[in-house]
Amino acid sequence: MGESLASEIMNEPSTIEGGISRRQVLQTAAATCAVVALASQEAAGQMPRSFVEPDFKIRNQRIRQSIMGWTFNPMPTPELARLCKDIGLVAMEGVGREHYPMIKELGLQISLVGSHGFANGPFNPANHDAVIKSLREGIDAAVQVGCSKVITFTGMREHGISDEQGAKNCLDAWKHVIGYAEEKKVTLCLEHLNSRDNTHAMKGHPGYFGDHVDFCVELIKRMGSPNFKLLFDIYHVAIMDGDVIRRLRQHREFIGHIHTAGVPGRAELDDTQEVNYPAVMRAILEIGYSGYVAQEFIPTWQDRGLALRHAAKVCDV
């Protein structure tokens, strides 16, 4: 309520024409302000958990929502898959390949297939044989399950290897696989990871080589293949580089996959975090991206199902 309005009301007689008391006017004004604030918060998509719809289901379906399953451990994968289906998510990733048949039977897709880990990546040539083998196996698994994306990473910086040599090492390893990916019509998606957060093994990765999104895009450009693209992780971009919407627009032609999570802390997409996810989702639609957007937050709410429904609602623009 503005100061001028409050002053005018306070200076009015205790009873206004029509028998309405000054107290009633104040109560009505306060209620109106609360409704306006609540509506603004709802428009931003970041409602307090008490206002989350316990039976929410995706309505607009303009964003193809998926989930990175590891974040919901220890919830059993079949239970998580059924929850995703009920909410209206259309795919899953980050789960054991033994679950793929069950996921497909539910009518869900596999949005991304895993490969080598983020630590022992191609930055070090000693890892090349394992990385190449893992990527080829990932491509085969993707083809078998009808998925078109396989994840890859740079790996960690290591003493004695310069950044330029490390970049060359990465490119050398990927070049041994990219022809096979093109042949199988599978895209390798390079994920950048933040190196700032050292509070949790999966919230940040100090020492990770590809920790800036613009640098990862440069590696992608140097690869020069339409089957080598960027995994744009909104959480990691926000922490390391910021300017998320402008970077989405800037790198639109190189984006092959997208992840979400609340910033900071990799928790829910709720009113405790700083990214305006509805605006980001609208920007994703604006740039013409039609791939999957996978929820990759680590739930902190006691009701994990409610947390996922809320995230789905936030992104259902």
DSSP assignments along the chain, one per residue: --HHHHHHHHTS-SEETTTEEHHHHHHHHHHHHHHHHHHHHHHHT---GGGS-TT----S--SEEEEBGGGGTTS-HHHHHHHHHHHT--EEESS-GGGHHHHHHTTPEEEEB--S-SSS-TTSGGGHHHHHHHHHHHHHHHHHHT--EEEE---B--TT--HHHHHHHHHHHHHHHHHHHHHHT-EEEEEP--SS--SSTTT--TTBS--SHHHHHHHHHHHT-TTEEEEEEHHHHHHHT--HHHHHHHTGGGEEEEEE--TTTT--SSTTS---HHHHHHHHHHTT--SEEEE-----SS-HHHHHHHHHHHH--
Would you say 43 and 14 are in contact if contact means Cβ atoms under 8 Å apart? no
Within 10 Å of residue 82's Cβ, how many Cβ atoms? 14
Confidence label for 2 from pLDDT (cuts 50, 70 and 90): very low
Q: Tell me, yes or no, whether 88 and 180 share the same domain.
A: yes
Q: Which is more confident, 92 or 31? A: 92
Least confident range from 26-40, 229-243, 257-271: namely 26-40
Q: What is the mean pLDDT of residues 256-262?
A: 98
The CA distances from residue 68 to 13, 81, 104, 113, in Å, are 61, 11, 16, 11
Q: Are 134 and 37 members of one domain?
A: no
pLDDT of res. 53:
85
pLDDT(200) > 90: yes
Q: Say what the pLDDT of residue 13 is.
A: 41
Using 50, 70 and 90 to split pLDDT, how confident is the model at 36? Answer: very low
| 92 and 214 both lie in a single domain | yes
Q: Is 48 part of a structural domain of the chain?
A: no
Is residue 275 domain-resident?
yes
Top pLDDT among 69 and 12 is at 69
8 has a pLDDT exceeding 70: no
For residue 203, being part of any structural domain is answered with: yes
pLDDT score at 40 = 42
Average pLDDT value for residue range 223-244: 98
pLDDT value at 240 more than 50 = yes
Predicted confidence at residue 312, as pLDDT, reads 98
- Of the pLDDT bands very low, low, confident and very high (cuts 50, 70, 90), residue 25 is very low
Mean pLDDT for the chain overall: 88
With bands split at pLDDT 50, 70 and 90, how would you rate the model's confidence at 48?
A: low
| Average of per-residue pLDDT across 224-240 | 98
Between these two residues, 29 and 284, which has the higher pLDDT value? 284
Co-location of 142 and 39 in the same domain = no
Enclosing domain of residue 231: 56-315
Assess whether 69 and 211 both reside in one domain.
yes
Q: Specify the pLDDT at position 52.
A: 77
Does 275 share its domain with 186?
yes
Query: How far is Cα 24 from Cα 105, in angstroms, rounded to an integer?
Result: 59
Do 34 and 146 belong to one domain?
no
Residue 50 lies in a domain: no
Structural domain tally of the chain?
2
Average pLDDT over residues 182-202: 97
Contacts of 187 (CB under 8 A, 6+ apart): 148, 149, 150, 181, 226, 227, 228, 229, 256
Residues 37 and 63 placed together within one structural domain of the fold:
no
* 8 is a domain residue: yes
Same domain membership, residue 8 and residue 82: no
Q: Average pLDDT in the 34-52 region?
A: 47
Q: Is 60 exceeded by the pLDDT of residue 23?
A: no
Quick check: is 263 in a domain? yes
Answer whether residue 17 shows pLDDT above 80: no
Q: Residue 259: its pLDDT value, please?
A: 98
- Render pLDDT for 126-144 as a digit per residue (tens, 0 to 9): 999 999 999 999 999 999 9
Asked whether residue 117 is assigned to any structural domain, the reply reads: yes
User: What are the residues whose beta carbons fall under 8 Å from the beta carbon of 15, sequence distance 6 or more?
Assistant: 21, 22
User: Which residues, other chains included, contact 298 with Cβ-Cβ below 8 Å and sequence gap of 6+?
Assistant: 71, 202, 203, 261, 266, 267
pTM: 0.85
Note the pLDDT of residue 49: 54
Could you tell me the pLDDT band of residue 78, with boundaries at 50, 70 and 90? Answer: very high
Residue 18 confidence (pLDDT) above 80: no
148 and 284 part of one domain: yes
Based on the domain organization, do 168 and 236 belong to the same domain?
yes
Q: Which residue has the higher pLDDT, 27 or 295?
A: 295
CATH number, position 148: 3.20.20.150
pLDDT digits (tens, 9 = 90+) for 80-102: 999 999 999 999 999 999 999 99
Considering the domain architecture, whether residues 20 and 76 belong to the same structural domain is answered as: no
